[in-house]
Structure 1
Amino acid sequence: MKNYIACFLGILGTAFSARAQYTPPSVTNFNQNWQFVKDLDTSQAAQRLSTATSIKISWQNVALPHTPQLEPIQKVKEQWQGTCYYRKTFTVPTANKGRRMVIQFDAAMHEADVYLNGKHLFKHLGGYLPFVVDVSDAVKFNQPNYLLVKLNNQDNADIPPGKPIKDLDFNYYGGLYRNAWLITRNKLYISDAVQENREAGGGILIHDDNVSKESASLGVKVEVRNQYATAQQASIVLILKDVAGQTVATASTGQQTIGQGHMGTFSQSLKVQAPKLWSVTKPYLYRLTVQVLQGGKVTDVQTVKTGIRSIKFVPGGFYLNNEKVTISGTNRHQEYPYIGYALSDNAQYRDAWKIKNAGFNFVRCSHYPPSPAFLDACDELGILVMDAIPGWQFFGGPAFQVNSLQNIQDMIHRDRNHPSIVLWESSLNETGMSKEYMDKAHKLTHQELPFADTYSSGWIDYAYDVVNPARQHAKAPDYWKKYDHPKPLLIAEYGDWEYYAQNAGFNQKAYEGLQKEERNSRQLRTDGQQRLLQQALNFQEAHNDDLYGPAVGDANWLMFDYKRGYAPDIESSGIMDIYRLPKFSFYFYQSQYGPVPDANGMGKPMLFIANYWNDSKQKTVKIYSNCQQVELLVNGHSVGKQKPDQDAMANNLIHPPFTFNLNSYEAGELKAVGYINGKVAITESRKTPGKPYKIVVEADRSGKDWKANTNDALFFYAYVTDKQGTPIPNANNLIEFTVSNGAQLVGNSSVTAEAGIATALIKAGSKPTTVKIMAAAQGLKPATLNYAIK
């Protein structure tokens, strides 16, 4: 939706001002002014709830995205599952009579029944992909319409992922947790690909051909539906513009007669000279506007952001624009603390921003399709994507398999025009699938995208184009280094389970002196410096080892800590915690990117001292940097300038760490200086913290301002510091947060600091303003931050 919504913002006034008879399409955000209730007596008929009939129910006023229940960080009981209802009243002007009107839900978890004015209109199964409800013949004009969505997110073996939450490796939260839209169009319109569910059809399908630095062809297929009572003639105009708004290519088709209720298919190609190619370092995006002409006048229009690029997977390599690129990636669960899946579009972008800022060029969407806003961010930031259907260690019966195959179609129909997507994981993760299912899933992927550069992927080396197992799916010590099948290999998970299960390959002896809880990669920020260093070392060892073999790249497990259904504790192998605060391993990965900044400013020279410098027993200083040399100074005295480490855990890395072994500990200041080509590129300091004295509050902007009227939740971090502002890494003070001006604290207002930082999640209000965030604790100087909601 977001990819083409821009066509309604700005271009209409200039493109169609001379066409008085043209009624532009309307795409209205439908997120505001909902009412919500859960755990209602289900004997109360949903038909009655979706009418003006007076029923004594305590509805809660809410806005989307919304989750039915705020869930605690540590699981004290099973997450909420049950039936809930969303109700909305809206009025449609008489001017829209005779037009097509639909309501689109970007996702609803996971069994949805939609009613309008007491009539059941639609049922949808599945919690991660959109569905469209046509209300053209059901709305009343110039009077209230009563919309009701009944949701059930209880375990259902027919709806992927299918496995009961209590046995699942992640949670799926309830609610209308993504955007909703009211869309009004003329009855000769560009169809919706998900709604039409046509093979390689519906909507707009873009494919790049013959891509080079000199030229490229954009093949564009458009399907137009006619819902008028008579046949209509239509043609298509294509306009491609660059980021400056300049037209770089145009094309048009001849007229077609489209019968009543039928679909017309138009195919045309745009020739682009000297295209600016989309890449991970320069993710250039064009805007393709598609106009439908009826009798020479525009009747519908959509704009899609698109990037021009070529991709190719071969055994031993991935090529982007004919240049070999080593995939360095991560996995991401979309969960936030408290609100579960109910992230704003800006929050989705911030997650993608953190992934790129960590140095990754690839993300696997584990283990379900993400928000369209997240994919938009990957397009914009230059992050390659493996899109994935819902599934984890569960293979259900015939109904489950039908729904799973439908997930493949819906995912591709929704996401096929994103330049960032290079792999389609049409496979159920770590699931014993039948050969019949895998054959169908692979074939379906290619039927929907009948192009030479379409690549299905799956964890089993059978039907799929690219095999994407986890590192631990092969045996230590070789793992996948001796894989010799004629198929591209991508290691889609590494760094967690093989250490958790204590079979960590050829370097296992290096960990013999560690206790079980110390040697694995599941480490919280509160587990201390030594264990955070161990987590980072585990990731380093595994990533370095992956680079020995034929893999085209790898993706670590994982980016952010998350909650699981089957275990009470946080799954803590993320390189950032659930609040999106970095662990030491974050900086290891960040050091593997750069030091030349990309088009988004990522990959600058960096340096991180992985040491709190508060322990007299710690005489080793690990430094992660993408510089060529690093000099370390202790209280102003240089202890030497070094090149990167050279050992069995670093010999394949682009930028190995720097390890300084000191003769003694001397409290005070560590200062590291990074050099590139003999010149100072960056400096970093770490001071021994004094006594806790005050609080310092910072906001987590991560590339996007705090936005009003969007349910945008932003993290605010309260640091416990000494008098000079040095963070106290072992502080666990109870911090009390208060906010003003319509902003809303999510969860508890009293938060215990973890490793010196207490986190508040705060939702913006409905209007732009400046919010005062205050953090106080007994015995500490309080802090106030004035922060703008845009």
Structure 2
Amino acid sequence: MKKTLICLLLSVTAIFKAEAQKTPSATNFNQGWQFVKDIDTTNSGTKLSTIKTASVVWENVSLPHTPQLEPVKKVKEQWQGTCFYRKFFTVPAADKGRHIAIQFDAAMHEADIYVNGKHVFKHIGGYLPFYMDVSDVVKYGRQNCILVKLNNQDNAAIPPGKPIKDLDFNYYGGLYRNAWLIKKNKLYISNSVQAQREAGGGVLVHEEAVSDKSAKLIIKTDLNNDFKAVKEASVKLSLIDDAGKTVAAISSKAQAIPAAGHAVFEQHLTVENPKLWSPSHPYLYQLKIQVLQNGKEIDATAFQTGIRTVKFEKGEFYLNGEKLTIVGTNRHQEYPYIGYALSDNAQFRDAWKIKDAGFNFVRCSHYPPSPAFLDACDQLGILVMDATPGWQFFGGKEFQENSFQNIRDMIRRDRNHPAIVLWEASLNETNMSKAYMDTANKIAHEELPFTGVYTTGWMDYAYDVFNPARQHLKAPDYWKKYNKPKPLLIAEYGDWEYYAQNAGFNQKEYAGLKSEERNSRQTRADGQQRLLQQALNFQEAHNDNLYGPGFGDVNWLMFDYKRGYAADLETSGISDIFRVPKFSFYFYQSQNGPVADVHGFGKPMLFIANYWNDPAQKTVKIFSNCDQVELFLNGKSLGKQKPDTGMFSNNLKHPPFTFHPASFTTGKLTAVGYLNGKQAATATQATPVGTPSKIVIKADESGKSWTAGSKDALFFYAYLTDENGTLVPTSSNKVKISVKGNAQIMGNAMVDAEAGIASFLLQAGDKPGTVEITATADNLKPGTLIYKVH
């Protein structure tokens, strides 16, 4: 990533680790911005930095922000162009002599920064943060203006590099993550990329000699001294458990830090009887780092980390010495309407849904995610493949140098997350040169020169782990005959081989189906037959992958998304773009458990994959992690069964259950799941009575309540039901939503219901309070929900 200093007054340039947002010296800088786009850019840095700007109408905004709300159904390419953000702020005179910096967690994707009309910084790249030391630039005790000029137009030098119109995802513009104002003593903990030192900067943690009896943590803390004289300091480390008890601590001796220089403090903490991090028990400690002078704290940071060991071998993955099969998914970070501008809560909710779906692994396709998403994976227990930006494009020298810097910056930002077990230092589905791959792999190991660090790439060269897509070979073998010593992970499956290669091992369900009915790209509105086909495709592919030499697989994908190269949504998600589950969601959920983890995921479950509204659909498919299921129709037992067997089920942890009622009779299906002969779970599905008559509104919190003052966008769903409250899945009525209170509708206020559900996105305002949400439709009883914003 190329960084260019324009103003010599800007002393240190860097990318600041995500831990800044948890540092006491960092305050949120998201409020009070102004925004404008599509204007004359001539002399914009100086011209737009004054309060009064002729002929420019600024919009008051806060971050995260997207330049334009985009329709869910694409009518043209997403907005690309030049836009501007500016903010007026004051740094008190008392702060003169301190280290003052501003950090942006992301800006898409070419940023020019002006402070008080002077161009001081340029950043290239849209997915990683940048940090500016403005100590010698700001005016103390007076008003300052920071102006950010952003351009997200196609640029072959900026990964992913491929033009939007040819790209299989979108990169939306804007300051779409958090911003921070940092004030510190001039002797301070640097950030992890600030000094541009291999395996240096900030705080670096790694483990050695880990067992359930003890573990050694080796912590390196990098201090910057911006004073013009030598300074002495010591570093105190404290490891604190989730009960607030300090379980290990150490203080260094005082060490001299040279003037305008830096020093590294390496310290070892021994933890007795450590609680190891894993997907089922994602135990996190808090690591507190204090910089002391004469016993007085002058800087500090704290972040959560976990203790675990990782080992990949041919055909096997070991976490904490125990073999674990990876069952994963891919995720794009896009939301409807707002693009990439998700709140931290929204990032957490996506992770919650991934865990709820039964996955223990997520691949961040095809770029580094938000730090908040990685924090959520740490907390919930989701293993992560972190990925550098790239997809089907290999640029020239400048592109490659920017890509190498992306890899370094990604690792420096994210290296202390226990959830990350693989570093995808590879450009996805790109014909990379061997020289590029050798360098990318080398960079990752330079940044993390320890055992238990693994790179991964889609080409079988250079990287530690090979992660091809299933469709990169053909049916029926795919990767089952791969016999090289390298560990193998199927990083994509379930979509393209069915969409483009007409895959399927003689599925009986293929008979009479059109090609569009056979593939995995199905919307909820396509009906239960096609939703069942999608679920069967994923089941077949996942079951078949388990024959092979891999240690796991990662489906394509979790959520539907928009892309540049096609006008329609990519709909192979197991949930739609509004995060409403399809039948496939419950197939994967059934592969987890039936013993709940510490967060309650993986408990005994049942899902009836049949609306029971169509006489032609007499087969009843049930997804469950129970060992027996009994099905009742209107109270009469249709029998108790064990899971399915056969070529689509024999490798599954929990195959589905398939019932064949003798005839179709309207009424209520009830499924009862048993574990060791005892009832463990139940589910019901009733036949809807007639057409919809009323609306029921539900909110989707997914582990995080709706929060004011953070641009928190929450999904609300209007269910079209009969008088008994049963969803009518054939309904597509137009539904309109209205809001009273401190919230606003993002995107369309009137939408067509899809399979009986109309989906809306609402953003909380600046203050807590009660919001009244009403949904109406012609000839239906309105639905109202009173909801509290915290």
- Post-superposition offset of 1:297: 2.1
- Post-superposition offset of 1:53: 5.2
Q: What is the rounded CA distance, in whole Å, between the counterparts of 2:320 and 2:44 in structure 1? A: 57
Which amino acid counterpart does residue 700 of structure 1 have in structure 2?
D
- Post-superposition offset of 1:6: 4.4
The aligned residue for residue 611 of structure 1 is 610
Which amino acid counterpart does residue 181 of structure 1 have in structure 2?
W
1:765 equivalenced with 2:765 (yes/no): yes
1:713 equivalenced with 2:732 (yes/no): no
Moved more, 507-516 or 460-469: 507-516
Q: Deviations over 1:35-90 (max 9, x none)?
A: 00000111242222123454331000001000000000011011100000001000
The aligned residue for residue 171 of structure 1 is 170
The aligned residue for residue 745 of structure 1 is 745
**Residues 153 and 745 of structure 1: is their aligned pair in 2 closer, same or farther, counting only changes over 3 Å?**
same
Which amino acid counterpart does residue 697 of structure 2 have in structure 1?
V
What SS does the corresponding residue of 2:549 show, helix, strand or coil? coil
Moved more, 35-44 or 69-78: 35-44
Q: Deviations over 1:724-778 (max 9, x none)?
A: 0000001111111000112000111111101100011000010010100000111
- Identity among equivalent positions (%) equals 68
What SS does the corresponding residue of 1:499 show, helix, strand or coil? helix
Q: What is the rounded CA distance, in whole Å, between the counterparts of 2:505 and 2:669 in structure 1? A: 34
What is the TM-score of this pair, normalised by structure 2? Answer: 0.97
Aligned partners of 2:291 and 2:297 also within 8 Å: yes
Aligned partners of 1:131 and 1:194 also within 8 Å: no
Aligned partners of 2:20 and 2:26 also within 8 Å: no
- Post-superposition offset of 1:507: 4.0
The aligned residue for residue 364 of structure 1 is 363
What SS does the corresponding residue of 1:571 show, helix, strand or coil? coil
1:700 equivalenced with 2:722 (yes/no): no
Q: What is the rounded CA distance, in whole Å, between the counterparts of 1:41 and 1:296 in structure 2? A: 55
What SS does the corresponding residue of 1:523 show, helix, strand or coil? coil
- Post-superposition offset of 1:7: 5.2
Q: What is the rounded CA distance, in whole Å, between the counterparts of 1:88 and 1:510 in structure 2? A: 59
What SS does the corresponding residue of 2:193 show, helix, strand or coil? helix
Q: What is the rounded CA distance, in whole Å, between the counterparts of 1:107 and 1:614 in structure 2? A: 48
Which amino acid counterpart does residue 275 of structure 2 have in structure 1?
K
What SS does the corresponding residue of 2:437 show, helix, strand or coil? helix
Q: What is the rounded CA distance, in whole Å, between the counterparts of 2:53 and 2:498 in structure 1? A: 59
- Post-superposition offset of 1:698: 0.1
The aligned residue for residue 678 of structure 1 is 677
- Post-superposition offset of 1:254: 2.1
Q: What is the rounded CA distance, in whole Å, between the counterparts of 1:508 and 1:459 in structure 2? A: 29
Aligned partners of 2:693 and 2:722 also within 8 Å: yes
- Post-superposition offset of 1:5: 4.4
The aligned residue for residue 72 of structure 1 is 71
User: In the TM superposition, what are the counterparts of 1:156-195 in structure 2 within 5 Å?
Assistant: 156-195=155-194
1:97 equivalenced with 2:118 (yes/no): no
Q: What is the rounded CA distance, in whole Å, between the counterparts of 1:240 and 1:732 in structure 2? A: 55
Q: Deviations over 1:581-616 (max 9, x none)?
A: 000000000000011110111111100000000001
Moved more, 45-54 or 744-753: 45-54
User: In the TM superposition, what are the counterparts of 1:269-284 in structure 2 within 5 Å?
Assistant: 269-284=268-283
Q: What is the rounded CA distance, in whole Å, between the counterparts of 1:254 and 1:264 in structure 2? A: 13
1:602 equivalenced with 2:596 (yes/no): no
1:530 equivalenced with 2:567 (yes/no): no
The aligned residue for residue 14 of structure 1 is none
- Post-superposition offset of 1:298: 1.7
Taking only aligned residues, the RMSD between alpha carbons, in angstroms, comes to 1.0
- Post-superposition offset of 1:512: 4.5
The aligned residue for residue 22 of structure 1 is none
Q: What is the rounded CA distance, in whole Å, between the counterparts of 1:241 and 1:171 in structure 2? A: 41
Which amino acid counterpart does residue 453 of structure 2 have in structure 1?
T
1:723 equivalenced with 2:709 (yes/no): no
1:390 equivalenced with 2:377 (yes/no): no
- Post-superposition offset of 1:234: 1.7
1:130 equivalenced with 2:167 (yes/no): no
Q: Deviations over 1:493-520 (max 9, x none)?
A: 0000000013425446762432100000
What SS does the corresponding residue of 1:195 show, helix, strand or coil? coil
Aligned partners of 1:502 and 1:520 also within 8 Å: no
What SS does the corresponding residue of 2:410 show, helix, strand or coil? helix
The aligned residue for residue 86 of structure 1 is 85
What SS does the corresponding residue of 1:341 show, helix, strand or coil? coil
The aligned residue for residue 463 of structure 2 is 464
Q: What is the rounded CA distance, in whole Å, between the counterparts of 1:733 and 1:336 in structure 2? A: 23
Q: What is the rounded CA distance, in whole Å, between the counterparts of 1:51 and 1:116 in structure 2? A: 11
The aligned residue for residue 628 of structure 1 is 627
Q: Which runs of 5+ in 2 are unaligned?
A: 1-16
What SS does the corresponding residue of 1:455 show, helix, strand or coil? coil
- Post-superposition offset of 1:194: 2.3
- Post-superposition offset of 1:639: 0.7
Aligned partners of 2:672 and 2:683 also within 8 Å: yes
- Post-superposition offset of 1:270: 0.3
Aligned partners of 2:733 and 2:777 also within 8 Å: yes
**Residues 165 and 6 of structure 1: is their aligned pair in 2 closer, same or farther, counting only changes over 3 Å?**
closer
Which amino acid counterpart does residue 788 of structure 1 have in structure 2?
K
The aligned residue for residue 642 of structure 1 is 641
The aligned residue for residue 353 of structure 1 is 352
Q: What is the rounded CA distance, in whole Å, between the counterparts of 2:22 and 2:149 in structure 1? A: 31
Aligned partners of 1:607 and 1:623 also within 8 Å: yes
Q: What is the rounded CA distance, in whole Å, between the counterparts of 1:371 and 1:195 in structure 2? A: 19
What SS does the corresponding residue of 2:597 show, helix, strand or coil? coil
User: In the TM superposition, what are the counterparts of 1:172-571 in structure 2 within 5 Å?
Assistant: 172-504=171-503, 506-507=505-506, 511-571=510-570
Q: What is the rounded CA distance, in whole Å, between the counterparts of 2:390 and 2:586 in structure 1? A: 31
Q: Deviations over 1:470-513 (max 9, x none)?
A: 00111211111111111100000000000001342544676243
Moved more, 695-704 or 139-148: 139-148
The aligned residue for residue 15 of structure 1 is none
Which amino acid counterpart does residue 758 of structure 1 have in structure 2?
A
Aligned partners of 1:102 and 1:184 also within 8 Å: yes
User: In the TM superposition, what are the counterparts of 1:2-41 in structure 2 within 5 Å?
Assistant: 3=19, 5-6=21-22, 8=24, 26-41=25-40
Aligned partners of 2:732 and 2:755 also within 8 Å: yes
Q: What is the rounded CA distance, in whole Å, between the counterparts of 1:699 and 1:546 in structure 2? A: 36
Q: Deviations over 1:280-302 (max 9, x none)?
A: 00100000111112233221111
Aligned partners of 2:18 and 2:414 also within 8 Å: no
Q: What is the rounded CA distance, in whole Å, between the counterparts of 1:2 and 1:595 in structure 2? A: 35
- Post-superposition offset of 1:642: 0.1
- Post-superposition offset of 1:662: 1.5
The aligned residue for residue 21 of structure 1 is none
What SS does the corresponding residue of 2:760 show, helix, strand or coil? strand
Q: Deviations over 1:203-224 (max 9, x none)?
A: 0000011111000011101110
Q: What is the rounded CA distance, in whole Å, between the counterparts of 2:408 and 2:23 in structure 1? A: 26
Which amino acid counterpart does residue 697 of structure 1 have in structure 2?
I
What SS does the corresponding residue of 2:350 show, helix, strand or coil? helix
Q: Deviations over 1:212-262 (max 9, x none)?
A: 100001110111010001011122111110011100001122222111111
What SS does the corresponding residue of 1:50 show, helix, strand or coil? coil
Which amino acid counterpart does residue 715 of structure 2 have in structure 1?
F
What SS does the corresponding residue of 1:351 show, helix, strand or coil? helix
Q: What is the rounded CA distance, in whole Å, between the counterparts of 1:443 and 1:550 in structure 2? A: 26
Q: What is the rounded CA distance, in whole Å, between the counterparts of 1:724 and 1:53 in structure 2? A: 60
Which amino acid counterpart does residue 273 of structure 1 have in structure 2?
E
Q: What is the rounded CA distance, in whole Å, between the counterparts of 2:371 and 2:53 in structure 1? A: 38
What is the TM-score of this pair, normalised by structure 1? Answer: 0.97
Q: Deviations over 1:607-649 (max 9, x none)?
A: 0000000001111000000001000011111010000000100
Q: Deviations over 1:507-558 (max 9, x none)?
A: 4676243210000000000000000000000000000000011101000000
Q: What is the rounded CA distance, in whole Å, between the counterparts of 1:243 and 1:94 in structure 2? A: 39
What SS does the corresponding residue of 1:329 show, helix, strand or coil? strand
Aligned partners of 1:49 and 1:55 also within 8 Å: no
1:145 equivalenced with 2:144 (yes/no): yes
Aligned residues: 773
The aligned residue for residue 121 of structure 1 is 120
Q: Which runs of 5+ in 1 are unaligned?
A: 9-25
Which amino acid counterpart does residue 80 of structure 1 have in structure 2?
W
